[in-house]
Structure 1
């Protein structure tokens, strides 16, 4: 098996560099709508933004108040971020004076019952999306569901896959995975799962650098009993001195019921087998909620996962689904097409939640995960992955913090310096002779290794603890500034018209769907889950 350096060397010619640069990316950014007081918006999704069910770029996530902006797939980083900024700029012009909350942890929330669950109309597909969210409410509570994040979708070029495949065939040492017995499609999926395993071993790097939730508004805790020894500053800001991402802690977007699933990432078949078992696995806890109680649906079913999307993971293997297809069916049909990075907090220092230096770092990081040897993971390795992530999420900026690497202690600083040394080789290759963009981005974030104050979480602590600005006041000031910036961001008449046209078209598409004959909703669910839950599950109890 070739080393990382050997693979990079093999790609260092003109064609190899072009193959590496052929990456495709997409971004999904979530943001709460807030009123003038910085409180959660209570009204429905603005009609000027179109239908949340059918719009390709502007939708909602859990709540009617939780917007999600989706970029098209882009090869150019500039085009990617320009498109994301235009979507923000068009949206804020159509929020009737409301603003976007520019951090991951929620704004002030009064009664939890005030969090409006997203609604998608009267079609069976729309009803199912809303019911799924009602199920999440009953299972985990609404507060957890309005935590915002940024998802980064990533794939490499067919040219790179061909180079890597040809090299593997040419240098196969007689093993099954290194001979012509593996076809191209299976090789791509196998390689993506190698990337995923390496990513999971190194995922702690992302909250260390990009985690931006060491502090939160105390209204998020309410009456919950929490195990964290929070410190308090200002009127109601809670924080952990060395935390990086409370969003990724047990306080955030987690599901303890899933701890028993043990889904394997050692191959696509293993993964699909694990997910398939999970969506069929009954939960005694969720069964107590009921599915259809007195004629009112409370959740899609009472299994550990209602649907595959409920499986919380910091990275996912993905393929674009065909009409009526479930995610695992798409993967089974044609293998992995791209991966989705889900470990990113919203960057509060960017008006769109992420910046170009982060994107370039993610390019380098994910290519490193792809090109490095990736052994299978066992139970011991999984425990090490979980322990390292927890340590960095809660104490990542703690001086002298040590992690475990293959069963041996290593300081976070030493591990990161070693990683950055290898990333630098890639950065030089990608930049070539005419650019320094990747090297500059890497240099920017390398400063945070020895100076934790230069991480995003360190910068947040500087604002809310060192400067003593209350968290909600600081974030509302950012919201005001970004609203003004985006409101004045230049949009051509053609761009504005394209958003208006898509909003109008998406509303018409939803109306068309709702005008079609609809099966009885109970029958629709029975048909959709016919291979997952026993008959009679959806009958009223």
Structure 2
């Protein structure tokens, strides 16, 4: 069956296209009134960063992360994320949230305080993992922000696509379908940084901590940019693990992926061994393998399953197959107070649905490198009207505009089916707006941001102005999904949960780590 035939099969049941599962994770740096990175600890009024289900931290104390539950309604999803932002702002005092992916003015990396999660073994392990990241890649790289989009199809979608199956056959078929989606994401996902990349420029203080050989141009006293760049966050300037390049983790199925992941967490790294693991009684990293833990794997998209208590991500996948996918290649949208818009979510709905229904042949390492090269071209030069992308590894090339238009032709079928299922035209309207961005790169987020940076003579002034505007918008809005009381209750309850975890520890930290890594020693 081709793409259109598969789409017709699933669209026969409207629930298959209206009950998509979506969750958002948005990262944002806290900044001081003068635009510098905050040196203050995680606000106590937000509760425990270890156990609060909505507000936590990522790499560092000033790097907040906002997490929504799974939602089947786009407006509810964005209302939830907005409410979480609103409550957070009510506890920030005179601090604001930096509205971009690439960090603001940063000094010495040792001034960036690693995220702290209390005295429990699990909390100490989370901080030690970050100590390892700091020593391996540097803290500056780790405070780059992004938006992660978690996405799943309902059972009715798979019923329409596969018909009746046994439980194991369904689990295997769903996992295979998600890996087909992942392969198509590598083939065509460069559309996401092209449309929504929002890091064409960066602060000179960030560049000082890299060894970049890119030919940057300069604006004002400290902003560097590439004229046609879309998402420098996804380039080699961002968080990548060069040690991982030799692992060749494949995406042709669950077992191949898990085999590669297991190898990564068991393969010693000569480079990371130089750091040491425990030196003079102090831990420097969890271990000296290529990956300390599975979360260290750098990838623009990941297969996921909700883990049970004490279960590692790979163990969850092995137990129950792929449950959802995590899209990790979204820059923070600087023009949105919450870092993402409804048009972006709806485009991802359409694109991921198209990717899972389109043919997706197995992919060898050579082909995967071809697609990664396309991504890199778009990231560094995506708005160049003369840019040509590879079509496979046979030497044939196509322009971003021509190839994007081809994809949008089939996305139009998805939009029509989704709108027919819901009884409106919102997906077709979204696609029509974004079609103009394909035809005219000046409409893309990276172009809009670079225009603003040129007009205001630097990234700092743009960021501070946007941050102030977002703060004003969030401070004057009304809660739409949750309430201040609900957030206060969760903050207080999260502190109690952290205390229970700390009081429940029976092992020493050394014994805890030994038990956690027993299967890889």
**TM-score grouping bracket, smaller chain normalisation:** over 0.9
For the pair 1:438 / 2:424, whether they are aligned, the reply is no
Shift of 1:110: 1.7
> Out of 46, 52, 55, which is 1:55 matched to?
52
Aligned residue in 2 for 1:275:
261
Tell me the secondary structure at the aligned position of residue 45 of structure 1. Answer: coil
CA contact (8 A) 1:233 1:468 kept: no
Counterpart Cα distance in 2 of 1:181 and 1:30: 37
Shift of 1:512: 1.2
CA contact (8 A) 2:151 2:325 kept: yes
For the pair 1:523 / 2:511, whether they are aligned, the reply is yes
**Structure 1 residues 448-487: Cα deviation after superposition (integer angstroms, max 9, x where no partner):** 112111110011111112x243110111000011111111
> Out of 119, 124, 129, which is 2:126 matched to?
129
CA contact (8 A) 2:250 2:365 kept: no
For the pair 1:159 / 2:156, whether they are aligned, the reply is yes
Aligned residue in 2 for 1:426:
414
Tell me the secondary structure at the aligned position of residue 520 of structure 2. Answer: coil
**Structure 1 residues 77-135: Cα deviation after superposition (integer angstroms, max 9, x where no partner):** 00000000000000001012111001000011122111110000000000000000000
**Structure 1 residues 190-222: Cα deviation after superposition (integer angstroms, max 9, x where no partner):** 111111111111121110000000001111112
For the pair 1:297 / 2:283, whether they are aligned, the reply is yes
Aligned residue in 2 for 1:463:
452
For the pair 1:5 / 2:18, whether they are aligned, the reply is no
Displaced runs of 4 or more, over 4 A: none
Of 242-251 and 219-228, deviating more is: 219-228
CA contact (8 A) 2:231 2:379 kept: yes
> Out of 92, 95, 98, which is 1:98 matched to?
95
> Per the alignment, do residues 83 and 403 of structure 1 end up closer, same or farther by CA in structure 2, a change over 3 Å counting?
same
Aligned residue in 1 for 2:467:
479
Counterpart Cα distance in 2 of 1:203 and 1:50: 37
Shift of 1:379: 2.2
> Out of 388, 401, 415, which is 2:374 matched to?
388
Shift of 1:493: 11
Counterpart Cα distance in 1 of 2:306 and 2:369: 31
**Structure 1 residues 218-261: Cα deviation after superposition (integer angstroms, max 9, x where no partner):** 11112532111100011211000010000000001111111111
Shift of 1:68: 0.1
> Per the alignment, do residues 201 and 55 of structure 1 end up closer, same or farther by CA in structure 2, a change over 3 Å counting?
same
Aligned residue in 1 for 2:195:
209
After superposition, where does 1:129-528 map in structure 2 within 5 Å?
129-166=126-163, 183-406=169-392, 407=394, 408-432=396-420, 434-465=423-454, 467-491=455-479, 495-528=483-516
CA contact (8 A) 2:10 2:158 kept: no
**Structure 1 residues 406-441: Cα deviation after superposition (integer angstroms, max 9, x where no partner):** 232111111100000000011011112831100111
Of 517-526 and 86-95, deviating more is: 517-526
> Per the alignment, do residues 396 and 494 of structure 1 end up closer, same or farther by CA in structure 2, a change over 3 Å counting?
closer
Tell me the secondary structure at the aligned position of residue 371 of structure 2. Answer: helix
> Per the alignment, do residues 12 and 498 of structure 1 end up closer, same or farther by CA in structure 2, a change over 3 Å counting?
closer
Counterpart Cα distance in 1 of 2:136 and 2:113: 16
After superposition, where does 1:23-42 map in structure 2 within 5 Å?
23-42=20-39
Shift of 1:41: 0.7
Counterpart Cα distance in 1 of 2:479 and 2:438: 38
> Per the alignment, do residues 400 and 492 of structure 1 end up closer, same or farther by CA in structure 2, a change over 3 Å counting?
closer
Shift of 1:399: 1.4
Task: Name stretches of at least 5 consecutive residues in structure 2 with no aligned partner.
Answer: none
TM-score (norm 2): 0.97
TM-score (norm 1): 0.94
CA contact (8 A) 2:198 2:446 kept: yes
> Per the alignment, do residues 316 and 434 of structure 1 end up closer, same or farther by CA in structure 2, a change over 3 Å counting?
same
> Per the alignment, do residues 334 and 223 of structure 1 end up closer, same or farther by CA in structure 2, a change over 3 Å counting?
closer
Shift of 1:346: 0.2
Task: Name stretches of at least 5 consecutive residues in structure 1 with no aligned partner.
Answer: 170-179, 534-541
For the pair 1:532 / 2:520, whether they are aligned, the reply is yes
Counterpart Cα distance in 2 of 1:45 and 1:468: 31
CA contact (8 A) 1:27 1:150 kept: yes
Counterpart Cα distance in 1 of 2:431 and 2:311: 39
CA contact (8 A) 2:79 2:481 kept: no
Shift of 1:530: 1.0
Alpha carbon RMSD of aligned pairs, Å? Answer: 1.4
> Per the alignment, do residues 22 and 230 of structure 1 end up closer, same or farther by CA in structure 2, a change over 3 Å counting?
same
Aligned residue in 1 for 2:74:
77
Tell me the secondary structure at the aligned position of residue 183 of structure 1. Answer: helix
Shift of 1:380: 2.2
Counterpart Cα distance in 2 of 1:440 and 1:492: 24
